[in-house]
Structure 1
Amino acid sequence: MQAKDFMSRKLATAAPDQPGAVLFNLFLETCQGGIPVLDQNRHLLGIVTSADLLRALFPGCVRFLDCTLYPERSLDPAAVLERINRIQVGEIMRRDLVTAPIDTPFCKLVALLMERKINQIPVVEAGRLQGMVTRFDVFRVLEEKYKEARAR
């Protein structure tokens, strides 16, 4: 089994010049853990995870011992709304991506997800996004194989 056989194909995407509010709405509407950022030709430029967006919306958080401290002003709803409309997708997207070709074997993808401690792997062909393999996609494959084995 290869990436093309089980990857998610219907993905919400964003452009680098869109405001952060677009990401916020996409996360709410799709429940995707990461939103791929594409240029006009569907070339993958980066990805924004929900954690990336939270860090951009709540700057100034400080880790001290085992606690995260938030300046009170960073939690002000008006300040958050102002930031979400001011930041652009391209400013917060991750550019250092782990990607995979469309013919990457299932076991290799599972190993990448685990070794790199990531939740999704964009699947690309000639630099263009074809789909995404997520941990949930892996669980779906395992469920399918389990049902097949029980039916025998």
Structure 2
Amino acid sequence: MIKTVKVRDYMNREVVTLNPDTHLFSAIDVLLTHRVSGAPVVDAGGHLVGVLSESDCLKGILNEAYFEETCGSVKSIMSQVVETIDADADILEAAAHFVKRGRRRLPVTEQGRLVGQISRRDLLRVLKNYNEHGTPRRR
């Protein structure tokens, strides 16, 4: 049954992350290099402390331009309230979260530490595999 499939079974474990002390333009370079629209921000212990999005970057640049402020570091502009999902949550819980909240991806945590990320596309792959084979195949 698909409800027994866990987020950890399909999450991406190789997530591009940022450090809170990274300078904004270095962070923008990381996003552009890896072709991602945002990245989780983790401290030295691997704990999720925020998320930096393209929108956050634009806000930081606009503040610098309009208010003659220095862009500074990721921690000064990142979103600190982060929606996450636990690695042991079932796939249907993740799907419901995506539908209700309109998110494209969620950081996956275990005891407060970032362990991966799951996207709507990952869930579509699970459902496609389930439909074709009766049981989901792991990646």
Partner of 1:63: none
C-alpha distance after superposition, 1:107-129 (max 9, x if no partner) = 11011112112222111111110
Distance in 2 separating the partners of 1:48 and 1:130: 17
Structure 1 residues without counterparts, runs of 5 or longer: 61-72
Q: RMSD value over aligned CA atoms?
A: 2.3
What amino acid does structure 2 have at the position aligned with 1:128? R
Where do 1:1-152 residues align within 5 Å? 1-59=5-63, 86-148=71-133
Provide the aligned length of Structure 1 versus Structure 2.
129
Q: TM-score, normalised by structure 1?
A: 0.74
Q: TM-score, normalised by structure 2?
A: 0.80
* Secondary structure of the structure 1 residue equivalent to 2:57: helix
Distance in 2 separating the partners of 1:35 and 1:3: 19
Q: Point out the more displaced range, 24-33 or 6-15.
A: 24-33
Larger radius of gyration: 1
Distance in 2 separating the partners of 1:136 and 1:31: 16
What amino acid does structure 2 have at the position aligned with 1:51? S
Amino-acid identity (%): 28
Structure 2 residues without counterparts, runs of 5 or longer: 135-139
Shift of residue 8, structure 1, vs aligned partner: 0.9
- CA separation of 1:147 and 1:23: change in aligned 2, threshold 3 A: farther
Aligned 8 A contact 1:13 1:37 in 2:
yes
* Secondary structure of the structure 2 residue equivalent to 1:103: coil
- CA separation of 1:51 and 1:8: change in aligned 2, threshold 3 A: same
